[in-house]
Homo-oligomer: A and B are copies of this chain.
Amino acid sequence: MNFNIIRAARAVLHVTDLEASRKFYVNTLGFVETESDEQHLYLRGLEEHSHHCLLLKKAEKPAVEVMGYRVYSEVELDVLAEFFADKGLKTKWMEAGTQKAMGRALRVEDVSGLPLEFYAKMDTVERMLQRYDLYKGAKVQRIDHFNCMVPDVEKAYDFYINELGFSCSEYTASEGERIWAAWLHRKPSVHDVAFMNGKGPRLHHVGFWLSDPMSLINACDVLAASGYTASLERGPGRHGLSNAFFLYLRDPDGHRIELYKGDYLTSDPDFKPVRWDINDKRRQTFWGHEAPDCWFNEASEVLNLDAEKTVDLEEAKLKQHKPTFVI
Is the Cβ of B222 less than 8 Å from the Cβ of A265? no
Is the Cβ of A243 less than 8 Å from the Cβ of B281? no
What distance in Å separates the Cβ of A280 from its nearest Cβ neighbour in chain B? 10
Q: Which chain A residues (195-230) contact chain B, with CB distance < 8 Å?
A: 211-214, 217-218, 220-226, 229-230
What distance in Å separates the Cβ of A246 from its nearest Cβ neighbour in chain B? 12
Given A212-B214, A217-B213; A268-B50 close (CB under 8 Å): yes
A93: CB under 8 A from chain B?
no
CA distance A118 to B36 in the complex (A): 49
Is the Cβ of A225 less than 8 Å from the Cβ of B72? no
What distance in Å separates the Cβ of A260 from its nearest Cβ neighbour in chain B? 13
Q: Given the complex, which residues of B lie within 8 Å of A122, measured CB to CB?
A: 270
Q: Which chain A residues (35-70) contact chain B, with CB distance < 8 Å?
A: 47, 49-50, 70
Integer count of this chain's copies in the complex: 4
Q: Given the complex, which residues of B lie within 8 Å of A129, measured CB to CB?
A: 243, 264
Interchain CB contact (< 8 A) of A224 among B134, B135, B217, B282: B282
Interface string of A287-315 (1 = CB under 8 A from B): 11100000000000000000000000000
Please report the total number of A residues contacting B with Cβ < 8 Å: 61
Is the Cβ of B217 less than 8 Å from the Cβ of A245? yes
Q: Which of A14-22, A77-85, A153-161, A232-240 contacts B (4 or more CB under 8 A)?
A: A232-240
Interchain CB contact (< 8 A) of A238 among B220, B262, B288: B220
Q: Given the complex, which residues of B lie within 8 Å of A211, measured CB to CB?
A: 262
By beta carbon, the residue of chain B nearest A136 is B136
Is the Cβ of A6 less than 8 Å from the Cβ of B130? no
Interface core residue of A28, A121, A132, A289 (most chain B CB under 10 Å): A132
Interchain CB contact (< 8 A) of A214 among B49, B50, B214, B282: B214
A255: CB under 8 A from chain B?
no
A34: CB under 8 A from chain B?
no
By beta carbon, the residue of chain B nearest A129 is B243
Given A124-B272, A222-B133; A6-B214 close (CB under 8 Å): no
Is the Cβ of A270 less than 8 Å from the Cβ of B124? yes
A131: CB under 8 A from chain B?
yes
Q: Given the complex, which residues of B lie within 8 Å of A321, measured CB to CB?
A: none
Q: Which residues of A contact B (CB under 8 A)?
A: 6-7, 28, 47, 49-50, 70, 72-73, 121-122, 124, 129-136, 141-142, 187-188, 211-214, 217-218, 220-226, 229-230, 232, 236, 238, 240, 243, 245, 261-262, 264-265, 267-272, 281-282, 286-289
